[in-house]
Amino acid sequence: MNASGSTALPPLTTTQWLICFVAALGFAFDTYELLMLPLIVRPALMELLGVPAGHPSINEWVGILFYVPAVAGGIFGLIGGYLTDLFGRRRVLVWSILIYAFSAMAAGFATSVEALLFWRCATFVGVCVEFVAAVAWLSEMFPEPGRREKIVGYTQAFGSFGGLMVTGAYYLINTYGQSFPAVLGGHDAWRYTLMSGVLPAIPLMIIRPFLPESPIWHEKKQAGTLRRPSFAALFTPALRRTTIVTTIMMACAYGAAFGAIQQVPRIVPGLEEVRSLARPAIEKTVSGAQSYQEFGGLAGRVLLAFLAIRIVSRRGLLRMFQVPALLLVPLVFLVAAPHSLAMLQWGIFLLGLTVIAQFSFWGNYLPRVYPTHLRGTGESFAANVGGRMIGTCAALVTTQLVPSMPGGSPAMQLANAAAIVGTTVCIIGLAASFFLPEPREETLGH
């Protein structure tokens, strides 16, 4: 059954295509900036700390670099959602992209682990604000339900293209980096990878003057009928259940990603068939393994965008991805990882398909359950308090569990810890889905 009626609509205008391009660019580089850390964190820490890969301080700083920037991003992302409702979607969107682009560039010049942490915090702030502003802006630019579901769904699929882009960039940099201009006297692949995050700022500065503000938000602002956003309003009787359940469920989705999936680039170098390779070959293998996750995530996002306009129940749609994810997590980390690289790669493809697709679900769902004056604020609370501040602490939990895990090697200890954390959050998320409110109507609330 279709989630919306099918009616003939005029083709997209040039301005609407431009809007889709900017949204897709933002979603792609959100993921690009975030997923470069699992790729570069090990070699970066080895250089900045001056210790070998198996040193305990590496594991400690990995947890810090995953979690502290996420908390910073969550705090400022929450503020950014409020500012999106207060000052407009387009303005906040543009500034958020510029913040994460230039902070990523600066991170490439870090000379200490503390400096790297600072710039990663700034990058996370931009990313967290951008997602909220982009989803609110994009949803309100296309008010017709069927078209909105398609555009929001398919533009979010570019988030997985961002993962493929950073994976490909890291592979190319490891292959040709010695011919690049030296950075701080060296040709470290992790520095070039961080610096490549400045790329989205270039087209954005060219097309920024042509981007319109959300007509829904602008009309209410001009008419003086736009109510002031309030965090307290999220917990009124009409919205309390929605706010609490979406916050819990986004925490679980991010927990599965950070506590399990994003640990794979650190598991791969410790596999028996990989650890004897030369360092450049190891990094290329890591990049190749990461690409399986990104292709899986892309497939999942496209599948969700296809199903979103065909399945009426939002709970039913989400569970089509939650249930397989719950079954896959222990299989991937407890069975595939110890067996072979090939099994781990295909396992992580399927896990990417089922977990990463859930992020696109929230981009479609949240705009429908909050009114215009609370749309950015409500989205930011679920995404930033739930996803960034609570969910990403799963990475810290995983790294803290590693020393007490069985496994015979650091890589297998990490795999076991990831299995426990990933399975736990998937169970909680599935249980919470039974309390998820169904949107009352297909049109956006006013």
* 25 confidence band (pLDDT: 50, 70, 90): confident
* Residue type, position 115, single letter: A
Backbone angles phi, psi at 111, to 5 degrees: -110, 0
Residue 438: C-alpha distances to residues 3, 70, 120 (Å):
12, 29, 36
Burial 338-351 (b: 16+ CB within 10 A, else e): beebeebbebbbbb
Confidence class for position 164, pLDDT limits 50, 70, 90: confident
Give the whole-angstrom CA distance, residue 70 versus residue 67: 5
The contacts of residue 30 (CB under 8 Å, 6+ apart) are: 100, 127, 130, 131, 159, 162
Tens-digit pLDDT profile for residues 127-155:
888 878 888 888 888 878 788 888 888 88
Residue 409's nearest CA partner among 53, 167, 122 is 53
- Residues 213, 89: contact at Cβ < 8 Å? yes
Residue with tokens 């501040």: 389
pLDDT, tens only, 396-405:
899 889 989 9
Q: Both tokens of residue 34?
A: 């975030």
| pLDDT value of position 2 | 46
SS3 at position 177: helix
C-alpha closest to that of 428 among 183, 225, 253, 217: 253
CB proximity list for 206: less than 8 A, separation 6 or greater: none
pLDDT for residue 394 is more than 70: yes
3-state secondary structure of 258: helix
**Residue 406 in tokens:** 């069985």
CB 143 within 8 A of CB 15: no
Per-residue pLDDT, 260? 93
Residues contacting residue 281 through CB under 8 Å, at least 6 positions apart: none
pLDDT at 329 over 90: yes
- Give the CA distances from residue 326 to residues 218, 270, 404, in Å, rounded to whole numbers and listed in that order: 42, 25, 23
- Residue 406 pLDDT greater than 60, yes or no: yes
Task: Assign 112 to helix, strand or coil.
Answer: coil
Identify the sign of the CA torsion 26, 29, 35, 40: negative
Q: Cβ–Cβ contacts within 10 Å for residue 180, how many? A: 13
User: How many DSSP H helices and E strands does the chain contain?
Assistant: 17, 0
Q: What is the predicted pLDDT for the residue at 354?
A: 95
Question: Which domains does the chain possess?
Answer: 14-212+236-433 (1.20.1250.20)
Measured distance CA(394)–CA(250) in Å, rounded: 12
Amino acid making up residue 329: V
Q: Identify the sign of the CA torsion 155, 157, 160, 164.
A: negative
Instruction: Answer yes or no: is pLDDT of 326 > 90.
Output: yes
Mean pLDDT, rounded, for 9-26:
86
pLDDT at position 7 is 56
CA 131/CA 376 separation, integer angstroms: 10
Distance CA 124, CA 160 (A): 17
Checking if the pLDDT of 3 tops 70, the result is no
DSSP per-residue string spanning 123-139: HHHHHHHHHHHHHHHHH
| Nearest partner of 200 among 301, 83, 90, 105, judged by Cα | 105
Confidence of residue 208 (pLDDT cuts 50, 70, 90): confident
Distance CA 407, CA 414 (A): 8
